[in-house]
Chain A
Amino acid sequence: MEQKTKVHAEEGRSDLLITREFDLPLDLLFKAYQDPEIVEQWMGTKVLKLENKKHGSWQFQTSDAKGNILFSANGTIHEFVENKRIVRTFEMDNAGFEVQLEFLEFEAVSDDTSRLNMHIVYRSNAHRDEMLKLPFAYGINMAHDQLQKVVSQLK
């Protein structure tokens, strides 16, 4: 089966392209990016601020049950054209990564399907590759933690 989400990251470049086709009409896809309550559901993070307009800004934050902040990110919105385009910056707080520039383009494929092209530009090729490795490293660590948990229960 063909993958619905594709990541195209050419070697040596400092940008990457994420494309995805949705079984959703264009306006519903865009709404998932526009409505803070919906963003919270699929991004799995709290939306502290989401000003959908030029010169607006946004702020997401995830905390655990004890209130410790696990993830915090922010950025500014440079362009917001409904059902068409969002240009924004994205920066994680206190994570040691630099800001990235994101071009989100929304288009209708048919009445019931739509496509999102997400073009992300990083400061350098090295910065991009570090970000690419993040979920990889995280996945490995998770597997490691899981293993340790199982092993410690055996003792």
Chain B
Amino acid sequence: MNLRRDVFQAIADPTRRAILLLLTSQSMTAGAIAANFDTARPTVSKHLQILIECELIEQEPNGREMHYHLNPQKIKEIAAFIEPFRKLWDDRFNKLEAIMKKHKPK
């Protein structure tokens, strides 16, 4: 059975989130990416494979090396990065509003 791959599955893993953060500033080879982790190189390759399947990153040959870079289009889908932050404040403010509506001056 083939596991369904979607972006949210991809970013549910801390290593994959770290890889995405690394690639925000530059494109990198698999070796350079793996150098940032204690995990074995094949494990990192597997994470890269998942990210490619989800189209969050793309690979591009550069001479004899393969470079990995972010796919900005797909990243936009999760650039709803801001939404959980907004939701956090919205929840707080909703609570504030509910409390103050019931508030009786002492």
Contact = CB atoms under 8 A, between A and B. Distances in A.
Interface in B60-94: 81-90, 92-94
B86 A24 contact: no
The B contact surface, by secondary structure, is helix
Contacts of B17: 137, 140
B85 A136 contact: yes
A42 B82 contact: no
B85 to A, nearest CB: 5
Contact of B81 (A6, A18, A136): A136
B93 A5 contact: yes
Interface size class of chain A, counting residues whose CB lies under 8 Å from the partner chain: 20 to 34
Interface of A: 3-7, 9, 18, 20, 22-24, 28-29, 31-32, 38, 41-44, 116, 131-140, 143-144
30 contacts: A3-B90, A4-B93, A4-B94, A5-B89, A5-B90, A18-B89, A20-B90, A20-B93, A23-B97, A24-B97, A24-B100, A28-B103, A32-B99, A41-B95, A42-B93, A42-B96, A42-B99, A43-B92, A44-B92, A116-B93, A131-B85, A132-B85, A133-B81, A135-B85, A136-B81, A136-B83, A138-B84, A139-B84, A140-B11, A140-B17
